[in-house]
Amino acid sequence: MEKDFELFDKMRAHEQVVFCNDPSTGLRAIIAIHNTTLGPALGGCRMQPYNSMDEALEDVLRLSKGMTYKCAAADVDFGGGKAVIIGDPKTDKSPELFRAFGQFVNSLAGRFYTGTDMGTAMEDFIHASKESNFINGLPVEYGGGGDSSIPTAAGVLHGIKATNYMLFGNEELGGHSYAVQGLGKVGFKVACGLLEAGAHIFVTDISKESLHAIELKAETTSGKVTVIAKEDIYSQPVDIFVPCAFGGIINDNTITQLKVKAIVGAANNQLLNDKHGNMLHEKGILYAPDYIVNSGGLIQVADELYGINHDRVLAKTKRIYDAILEVYKEASNTGKTTEESANQMCEKRIADRTKRNSFFTSPEKPKWSIRNLS
Ligand code: NAD
């Protein structure tokens, strides 16, 4: 008889997958822990009406692996994990369901920290936090760091400064032009930062209120704003494209339109797939890997373990400047794409830690539990 270990085959390099089932609340969730070499797994919890077990499992495995890279790049003492709750966020939520989820998180005794992601909100995790200490990203009044878009936007501005340094030999934000797609929680703050530095920004959003608000803001700064139609954002002949709306926007169709020198933005999963990193490379467009540029929110969440201190978090987001420059230099030395270079640098960081293995035995051990504790 042929042996069948399909689930382990699917797990590939993941350390642990936990299936959480609580019929009384209707909770069906999967927690995936990809790698805890750098510290306990950290990653948000999505709620989505997945169509099948396979779809939910694939999603949680893919997302948790991504978190390992994101944590390594941000140099936080966490590994990669993620959770998905199978259900419709509009109709299937209840306080009891999130308390049950909190109990499962707690049963992992600090191997996995979680909070909001697509389909879940801070209020949901206030319920989960009644059952577990391993919930982060709560509102300030509940002891959390609150709105993560502030450090995320700060990180994007550091990424743009590093890119300007690479392109023009100085990091000044002003004196250059930018196309900002999306003026939401992150994009609006990035646009304000650029205007305050005296830049000319071309902006688009589907929200008229946001466009009006940025025009009002521009009047109080030395910068200039030009509102453009959403389909024209890709073809603007500016220095940097700053995507802050949604993923998959770097694709066959948009790459042919781009007339920029670089892309630096907050949106997650900007490259539709790996080949688009190569296409940008061939076109001579510098791409700042999104998971490094937008890691300010992650830095805040990771920093919560030391107590809430927004100044410290903003200081730590300056690492993004160095990380992006390091990636650009590595890519230019090796001829690889920036995305490949970033991934390899993360893999090396994890491999080096595995070899040294002394970090966790220092007298100042972190309070949370980790795999390599000896
Ligand atoms: P948001 O929902 O507040 O903002 C998105 C904005 O994009 C909205 O203003 C929306 O109207 C606009 N938009 C939607 N469709 C558009 C279109 N076709 N053209 C132009 N604009 C359009 O989200 P956010 O929190 O600002 O996040 C923006 C991106 O950054 C997302 O991809 C998110 O996953 C990513 N990100 C956010 C954070 C964070 O801390 N908020 C952290 C990491 C990554």
Between CA 83 and CA 31 the distance in angstroms is 4
Q: Best of 70, 185, 230 to mutate for ligand 1, by most ligand atoms within 8 A of CB?
A: 185
Is 137 near ligand 1, meaning CB less than 6 Å away? no
SS3 state at 13 = coil
Between CA 85 and CA 64 the distance in angstroms is 14
What does the DSSP assignment read for 255-276?
HHH---SEE----SS-BSSHHH
Between CA 338 and CA 328 the distance in angstroms is 6
Q: What is the pLDDT along the chain (374 residues), one digit of tens a residue?
A: 788 898 999 898 899 999 999 999 999 999 999 999 999 999 999 999 999 999 999 999 999 999 999 999 999 999 999 999 999 999 999 999 999 999 999 999 999 999 999 999 999 999 999 999 999 999 999 999 999 999 999 999 999 999 999 999 999 999 999 999 999 999 999 999 999 999 999 999 999 999 999 999 999 999 999 999 999 999 999 999 999 999 999 999 999 999 999 999 999 999 999 999 999 999 999 999 999 999 999 999 999 988 999 999 999 999 999 999 999 999 999 999 999 999 999 999 999 887 654 333 333 444 444 444 33
User: pLDDT tens-digit profile of 1-56?
Assistant: 788 898 999 898 899 999 999 999 999 999 999 999 999 999 999 999 999 999 99
Q: Which of 148, 249, 138, 242 is nearest to 199 (CA)?
A: 242
Rounded distance from Cα 182 to ligand 1 centre (Å) = 6
Handedness of CA 166, 230, 273, 353 (dihedral sign): positive
- Cβ neighbors of 258 (< 8 A, separation 6 or more) are 234, 235, 241, 283, 285
Token pair of 243, please?
A: 């995507």
- The CB density around residue 203, as the number of other CB atoms within 10 Å, is 27
